[in-house]
Chain A
């Protein structure tokens, strides 16, 4: 037989380290191990053995604690595609053979490329896919939030995008959330794209956003190589869940740089761009800020400010303000109420202005019609 099912004891599963990416899966259910000639899919859960420790010496658990890994450890991770210019590029393999741990949040993939400055990815051997008691493989999509058709448009929506990975987006998002919370503004937050990482999610929780989501809640372990419909599904699902909590503002992080394929696709999705009231752009330097702001404004996106790594340098900050014609806020200052109050009032003003303009256009249409 090409495919075999193997019983899994509760004890074995309890001793395994469950990665952050599995956080929506009920660990109390009955599991079986499915192996043989199988083609894994993005989002499939697998039990794997750690063979050789490489770049990732720790695995982020469901609790986001970074647990040390030892050779021989059994881990529950998720197959997924990984796009990380500062680390690895990996894709879901077409077999259950040896592969790599390509993200600390728990993503298994076939390694394609790695950055010069990182070690080789930790080697793992898949022992099989996790299956339910009926023998069906378990995928993150089985535990996702429900699909929706509409998002309540009431809350303000602020998006943080950047030049690249490690340009200061996550810190900016967490600080923005903190700044709004300090003004007693209810904030919901989410990360729409990237690779499942507990640190990013927890940063938003720790800053005081409630609720907080990432694409895992929509059933996806990462967004690398997903199509436009999947991106729209993530926007709709997480956008609707956040808006349903009736926050005053929603903060959304978009991973990687604007040139990354899925990021660019998302910013070319009218439903998403129409939903946004403002974008804050995180950059590493003034030239990157200029390029990013030009890219966004060429698409008529409402960029309201610049932040990110460049703000560590007062001279870079001055250059960026001069060349981009936008306020530049130090990443850490975003957590201060006096800064976030201006960002909030700016978004409110823009939204009101947009509503007034569309009402005026509608009235003109009625008059002419």
Chain B
């Protein structure tokens, strides 16, 4: 039991600070190890609690706690890109408050994280991992609309070049490349729906739909890995019959299993 939280129950916690931050926690009934924690980041429907509910059976089976921050539309309109600029609405810093609170209040030990993100959450997770590669042990990105490419010629958030909004960026790509990563894309997530970013910058460089963009991003990351002579573990997998709706991914029974299996694969008993 972590700091007297009753296992098997979802807790909602609010942290007050510069802006209020909410998160949800679930402690499994059969916890194996306090370091087995899954961090899940919602998409633009901001369904953090729903993420946890959907993951409970696996959380129990894998003996893993779940933490799901909630980035509100008002405070973090562009949480997917970690903020609107280096000084504004920094979702990564808000997430750090969640981590600190989880550590201080709930007694959750700090350790490299096993992270999952859906859609906008997938965008958040890979960018967070680029900024803080040492903090991420493994990640699963499901259905991100677009990505930050490891391209020093393009300005952040399209690439890793500094800009007026994001000056003095330094990415330790050799560390990022060592994070085992799965990109999961619905087999039918190839529509140019209303939520897809369709700017020319992204269409021309990343592709016309989530499938193409995922392929090009994994290719680019693996290419950089080859350049550094790092054997990367970045793979793209298709989710049968899934469109872009979160429910359609959940409708594929092995989907959640696949996420947990990958995130905790190296911690298998």
Q: CB within 8 Å of B: which residues of A? A: 302-305, 314, 318, 321-322, 324-327, 329-330, 333, 336, 338-339, 341-342, 345-346, 349-350, 353
Contact = CB atoms under 8 A, between A and B. Distances in A.
A302 B224 CA distance: 13
B229 A322 contact: no
B3 to A, nearest CB: 41
B152 A305 contact: no
B219 A338 contact: no
Interface in B63-98: none
Nearest to A354: B229
B228 A349 contact: yes
Nearest to B150: A327
B153 A338 contact: yes
Contacts of A338: 152-153, 161-162
B220 A342 contact: no
Contacts of B229: 302, 349-350, 353
Given A336-B153, A346-B174, 11 more contacts: A321-B223, A322-B216, A325-B223, A326-B227, A329-B153, A338-B161, A345-B173, A346-B227, A349-B228, A349-B230, A350-B228
B166 to A, nearest CB: 13
A25 to B, nearest CB: 43
Given A321-B219, A321-B223, A326-B223, A339 B152 contact: yes
28 contacts: A303-B227, A304-B228, A314-B204, A324-B223, A325-B219, A325-B223, A326-B223, A326-B226, A327-B150, A327-B151, A327-B223, A327-B224, A327-B227, A333-B153, A336-B152, A336-B153, A338-B162, A339-B152, A339-B153, A341-B152, A342-B173, A345-B173, A345-B174, A346-B174, A346-B227, A346-B228, A349-B174, A350-B228
Interface residues of B, number: 21
Nearest to A305: B227
Nearest to B171: A342
B210 interface: no
Nearest to A329: B153
B222 interface: yes
Contacts of A302: 229
Contacts of B162: 338
Contacts of A341: 152
Interface of B: 150-153, 161-162, 173-174, 204-205, 216, 219-220, 222-224, 226-230
A340 to B, nearest CB: 9
Nearest to B229: A350
Contacts of B205: 314
A24 to B, nearest CB: 37
B96 to A, nearest CB: 26
Nearest to B225: A325
A336 B219 CA distance: 23
A338 B205 CA distance: 19
Contacts of B224: 327
A327 B151 CA distance: 9
Contacts of B230: 349
A53 B218 CA distance: 56
B134 to A, nearest CB: 15
A325 B151 CA distance: 14
Contact of B153 (A303, A330, A345): A330
Contacts of B226: 325-326
Contacts of A321: 219-220, 223
A180 to B, nearest CB: 14
A353 B229 CA distance: 9
Sorted nearest first, the 3 A-B pairs with minimum C-beta distance are A304-B227, A338-B152, A326-B223
B47 to A, nearest CB: 35
B228 to A, nearest CB: 5
A6 to B, nearest CB: 59
A338 to B, nearest CB: 5
B60 to A, nearest CB: 40
A322 B223 CA distance: 8
Contacts of B220: 321, 327
A251 B219 CA distance: 28
A342 B229 CA distance: 14
B223 A342 contact: no
A346 B174 CA distance: 8
Contacts of A330: 153
Contacts of B150: 327
Contacts of A333: 153
Contacts of B173: 342, 345
A208 to B, nearest CB: 20
Contacts of A339: 152-153
A281 to B, nearest CB: 11
A302 B227 CA distance: 8
Contacts of B223: 321, 324-327
Nearest to B173: A342
A338 B179 CA distance: 23
A329 B204 CA distance: 17
Nearest to A348: B174
A199 B70 CA distance: 60
Contacts of A345: 173-174
Contacts of B222: 325
A344 to B, nearest CB: 11
A322 B224 CA distance: 12
B201 to A, nearest CB: 12
A303 to B, nearest CB: 8
Nearest to B222: A325
A339 B153 CA distance: 7
A341 B169 CA distance: 12
A16 B199 CA distance: 62
A355 to B, nearest CB: 13
B205 to A, nearest CB: 8
